[in-house]
């Protein structure tokens, strides 16, 4: 009614705006009577004015994205309360859309009719909804009907793949983007416009506008833009309008003939498999295991969040068991905590040349030592304080309660997380000891033959140090240098007996999304049920950019953790991104791009 707003609770990938506009047209609500505004900073007063006017004239008002204007929502609550005490036009309707947020007033929710519109699950359901929303006149209204129908089907396929790849986590997309129906609708309009206006199909224009602008405009990670472009090339390309074209290797997903009506297209979609296999998204079948692990972890995280934690010094019942368990962990960590790294223990060659700037790796080591010693101090202090708090010697602060809870659920305390890691607490502590042990060997015995890339707080600093060292030795500007990467054949890091003539050998990387042929030193398809493959030592060889010759190899990104996502840095890359290596392959690089192949510095266990 005029007094009861309709609130759409949004979910990722769902946008009800097109349905509201269509309903307004069906109810003969013209553009002057229907006003909509996306809320944000400074939009509250405009929205209030639209509501006041529509209450008098009987118009419709839609306030989009209410969650972006949390500070104005109390004012909205007041406007609705005022309206309930006055006479307003019976034709007035108020529509609200908002993501779930704690700031949304309860009174508005209680007063309104609540609707949620989730995107359909699965490729078939997603494509079906796309064509149910398309009118026959729109479907048949292009001057190149056959090409338009084929490419429209490919566009719907691309939209569905983009949304469904999100369920596979980082191997699908580094960041789970929220593409909307509006992205697809705009792309369809532009597809028809370019086909009508151009004598030939402008492939490059379509691929750029759809892949880089419409869908790519929501993407913040440059590696994800690369994935989106490669997927789009399958759906929108000269091959896609050929007879019998298939979107996947299985041949179960193929393009229409271009002669069909919408009813025939819907029948074709109904014949598609009900359960999507990873191959249709360009992924290996092992991606199903990754998806199941992701879902299981999310479930366990939810259970752990709901479980009560016991913090204190009581020795009765479950609380006493928890306290005893935590005290055991504290004692184990105190006994196993490594000693701090001391500069005076250094080998004579470790820091030789630091004064004149030639020993850039020595400078890096000294910086890493400061960070490790700082972390060891934090851990030692935290363990002592927690032990005293449990015994009643000091107050159990909120910070110590959090530490206690982390020990119960085997999580790394946030205060200890000075470098990114997804390992549980026990495995993280073992990993920390190994890192300190590697640094201590380097400190006492000089630079190693092969560097453990995973142990650094800042792996990018190691890469930069290598380039600086080479640049200063050869008097070549560092801006004109880059790495040539070469994986060693049939060798593990323990068998490396001498360093390379220039650059360095590194180890500790794992390959996700593909396998590695040790004999041929190239990428291959993953073995079944094998999610990660340990890579052999890799030679980072500094060369001039003009002499670099690996452009035909697969550009494989390196991430610190399997999460891959991070914050956007000033370099334009994710903070989780280290660098890219170039790996040999018999298959074309775009195959591995769609596979989501990447190198990671550390596992989750």
Report the CATH number at residue 182. Answer: 1.10.8.720
Output the pLDDT for position 308.
Answer: 64
* Mean pLDDT, residues 172-186: 91
Output the pLDDT for position 372.
Answer: 97
Which CATH number belongs to the domain containing residue 600 in this structure? 3.10.490.20
Alpha carbons 586 and 597: distance in angstroms, whole number: 15
| CA dihedral over 527, 533, 536, 540, signed as positive or negative | positive
Q: How many CB atoms are located within 10 Å of the residue 276 CB?
A: 21
Domain count, the chain: 4
Asked if residue 87 is part of any domain, the answer here is yes
Asked if residue 588 is part of any domain, the answer here is yes
Which CATH number belongs to the domain containing residue 49 in this structure? 3.40.50.300
* Mean pLDDT, residues 178-198: 92
Q: Indicate the DSSP class of residue 212.
A: I
Q: Indicate the DSSP class of residue 35.
A: E
Residue 27, pLDDT > 70, answer yes
Asked if residue 454 is part of any domain, the answer here is no
95 and 168 in a single domain? The answer is no
Residue 243, pLDDT > 80, answer yes
Q: What is the pLDDT of residues 510-545, one digit of tens each?
A: 999 999 999 999 999 999 999 999 999 999 999 999
Q: What is the pLDDT of residues 403-424, one digit of tens each?
A: 999 999 999 999 999 999 999 9
130 and 52 in a single domain? The answer is no
* Mean pLDDT, residues 259-277: 92
Share of the chain above pLDDT 70, in %: 98
Least confident interval from 12-16, 20-24, 477-481: 12-16
160 and 266 in a single domain? The answer is yes
Residue 15, pLDDT > 80, answer no
Residue 152, pLDDT > 60, answer yes
- Tokens standing for residue 260: 């069909």
Query: Quick one: which of 393, 76, 137 has its CA closest to 262?
Result: 137
> Residue 317: which pLDDT band, with cuts at 50, 70 and 90?
low
Asked if residue 393 is part of any domain, the answer here is yes
> Residue 310: which pLDDT band, with cuts at 50, 70 and 90?
very low
Backbone φ and ψ for 531, nearest 5 degrees, come out as -85, -30
* Mean pLDDT, residues 431-443: 97
| Strands 93-98 vs 504-507: parallel, antiparallel or unpaired | unpaired
Share of the chain above pLDDT 90, in %: 65
> Residue 579: which pLDDT band, with cuts at 50, 70 and 90?
very high
378 and 235 in a single domain? The answer is no
Residue 314, pLDDT > 50, answer no
Q: How many CB atoms are located within 10 Å of the residue 147 CB?
A: 16
Alpha carbons 189 and 179: distance in angstroms, whole number: 17
The angle subtended at Cα 550 by Cα 545 and Cα 555, nearest 5°, is 105
315 and 269 in a single domain? The answer is no
Which of 283, 311, 334 terminates a domain? The answer is 283
Alpha carbons 596 and 577: distance in angstroms, whole number: 14
* Mean pLDDT, residues 164-172: 94
Beta-ladder partners of 599: 511, 558
Q: Which residue has the higher pLDDT, 48 or 376?
A: 376
150 and 79 in a single domain? The answer is no
Residue 312, pLDDT > 50, answer no
Alpha carbons 195 and 148: distance in angstroms, whole number: 7
Asked if residue 293 is part of any domain, the answer here is no
Asked if residue 289 is part of any domain, the answer here is no
Give the range of the structural domain holding residue 265, as residue numbers without chain letter: 123-283
* Mean pLDDT, residues 21-28: 86
Q: List, in order, residues 6 or more apart from 450 with CB less than 8 Å away.
A: 493, 496, 499, 504, 505, 506, 507, 537
* Mean pLDDT, residues 16-37: 85
428 and 504 in a single domain? The answer is no
Output the pLDDT for position 56.
Answer: 85
> Residue 492: which pLDDT band, with cuts at 50, 70 and 90?
confident
* Mean pLDDT, residues 493-500: 90
Which CA distances in Å does 103 have to 74, 354, 434, 600? 9, 55, 46, 38
Q: List, in order, residues 6 or more apart from 201 with CB less than 8 Å away.
A: 144, 147, 151, 194, 195, 238, 241
In the numeric block, the tokens 């334009």 are attached to: 572
Asked if residue 291 is part of any domain, the answer here is no
Sheet holding 577-583, edge to edge: 532-534, 510-512, 598-600, 554-559, 577-583
Alpha carbons 351 and 442: distance in angstroms, whole number: 11
32 and 164 in a single domain? The answer is no
CA dihedral 503, 509, 512, 514 (to 10 degrees): 60
Output the pLDDT for position 84.
Answer: 75
464 and 600 in a single domain? The answer is yes
Q: b/e for 546-556, b at 16 or more Cβ within 10 A?
A: eeeebeebbbb
Q: What is the pLDDT of residues 355-379, one digit of tens each?
A: 888 899 999 999 999 999 999 999 9
Alpha carbons 34 and 95: distance in angstroms, whole number: 11
Which of 116, 139, 170 terminates a domain? The answer is 116
Asked if residue 517 is part of any domain, the answer here is yes
Average pLDDT, the chain: 90
Beta-ladder partners of 93: 60
Beta-ladder partners of 95: 6, 62
Which of 283, 316, 340 terminates a domain? The answer is 283
| Strands 532-534 vs 510-512: parallel, antiparallel or unpaired | antiparallel
Output the pLDDT for position 309.
Answer: 54
Q: List, in order, residues 6 or more apart from 279 with CB less than 8 Å away.
A: 248, 249, 250, 285
| Residue 461 burial class via C-beta count within 10 angstroms: exposed 0-12, middle 13-18, buried 19 and up | middle
Output the pLDDT for position 315.
Answer: 47
* Mean pLDDT, residues 285-299: 93
Q: b/e for 393-431, b at 16 or more Cβ within 10 A?
A: eeebeeebbbbbbbbbeebbbeebeebebbbebebbbeb
Query: Quick one: which of 167, 220, 210 has its CA closest to 189?
Result: 210
417 and 501 in a single domain? The answer is no
84 and 40 in a single domain? The answer is yes
Q: What is the pLDDT of residues 65-113, one digit of tens each?
A: 888 888 888 888 888 888 777 778 888 888 898 888 888 888 888 888 9
* Mean pLDDT, residues 442-467: 95
Residue 7, pLDDT > 70, answer yes
427 and 546 in a single domain? The answer is no
**Chain centre distance of CA 278:** 18
Output the pLDDT for position 311.
Answer: 46
* Mean pLDDT, residues 114-130: 86
Alpha carbons 339 and 525: distance in angstroms, whole number: 44
């Amino acid at each position: 009614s005029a007094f009861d707003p309709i609130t759409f609770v949004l979910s990722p990938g769902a946008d009800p705006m097109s349905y509201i506009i269509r309903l307004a047209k069906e109810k003969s609500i013209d553009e002057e009577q229907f006003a909509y505004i996306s809320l944000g900073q400074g939009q509250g007063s405009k929205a209030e004015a639209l509501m006041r006017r529509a209450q008098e004239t009987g118009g419709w008002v839609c306030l989009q994205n209410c969650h972006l204007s949390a500070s104005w929502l109390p004012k909205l609550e007041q406007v609705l309360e005022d309206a309930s005490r006055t006479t307003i036009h019976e034709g007035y309707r108020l529509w609200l859309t908002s993501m779930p947020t704690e700031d949304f007033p309860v009174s508005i929710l209680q007063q309104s009719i609540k609707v949620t519109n989730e995107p359909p699950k699965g490729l078939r359901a997603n494509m079906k909804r796309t064509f149910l929303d398309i009118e026959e006149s729109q479907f048949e209204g292009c001057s190149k009907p056959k090409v338009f129908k084929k490419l429209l089907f490919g566009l719907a396929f691309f939209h569905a793949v983009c949304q469904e790849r999100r369920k596979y986590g980082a191997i699908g997309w580094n960041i789970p983007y929220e593409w909307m129906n509006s992205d697809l609708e705009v792309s369809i309009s532009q597809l028809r416009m370019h086909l009508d206006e151009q004598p030939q199909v402008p492939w490059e224009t379509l691929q750029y506008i759809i892949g880089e602008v419409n869908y790519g405009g929501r993407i913040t990670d440059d590696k994800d833009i690369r994935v989106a472009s490669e997927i789009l090339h399958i759906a929108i390309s000269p091959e896609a309008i050929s007879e019998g074209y298939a979107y996947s290797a299985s041949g179960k997903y193929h393009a229409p003939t271009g002669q069909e009506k919408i009813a025939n297209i819907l029948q074709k979609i109904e014949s598609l498999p009900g359960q999507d296999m990873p191959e249709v998204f360009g992924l290996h079948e092992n991606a199903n295991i990754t998806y199941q692990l992701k879902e299981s972890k999310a479930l366990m995280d939810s259970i752990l969040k709901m479980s009560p934690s016991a913090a204190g010094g009581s020795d009765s019942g479950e609380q006493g068991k928890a306290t005893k368990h935590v005290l055991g962990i504290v004692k184990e960590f105190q006994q196993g905590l490594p000693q701090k790294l001391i500069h005076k223990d250094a080998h004579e060659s470790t820091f030789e040349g630091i004064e004149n700037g030639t020993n850039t790796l020595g400078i890096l080591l000294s910086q890493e030592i400061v960070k490790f010693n700082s972390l060891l101090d934090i851990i030692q202090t935290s363990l002592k304080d927690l032990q005293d708090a449990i015994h009643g010697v000091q107050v159990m602060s909120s910070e110590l309660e959090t530490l206690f809870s982390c020990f119960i659920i085997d999580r790394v305390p946030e205060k200890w997380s000075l470098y990114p890691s997804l390992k549980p607490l026990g495995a993280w502590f073992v990993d920390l000891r190994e890192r300190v042990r590697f640094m201590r060997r380097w400190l006492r015995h000089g630079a190693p033959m092969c560097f453990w890339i995973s142990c650094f707080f800042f792996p990018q600093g190691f890469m930069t140090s290598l380039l600086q060292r080479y640049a200063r030795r050869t008097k070549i500007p560092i801006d004109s240098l880059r790495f040539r990467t070469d994986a060693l054949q049939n060798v593990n890091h323990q068998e490396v007996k001498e360093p390379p003539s220039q650059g360095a050998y590194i180890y500790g990387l794992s390959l996700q999304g593909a396998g590695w042929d040790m004999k041929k030193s190239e990428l291959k398809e993953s073995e079944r049920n094998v999610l990660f493959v340990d890579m052999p030592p890799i030679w980072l060889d500094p060369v001039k950019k003009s002499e670099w010759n690996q452009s035909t190899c697969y550009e494989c990104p390196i991430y610190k953790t399997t999460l891959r996502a991070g914050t956007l840095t000033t370099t334009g890359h994710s903070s989780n991104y280290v660098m890219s290596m170039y790996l040999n392959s018999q298959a074309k690089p775009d195959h591995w791009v769609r596979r989501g192949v990447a190198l990671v510095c550390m596992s989750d266990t």
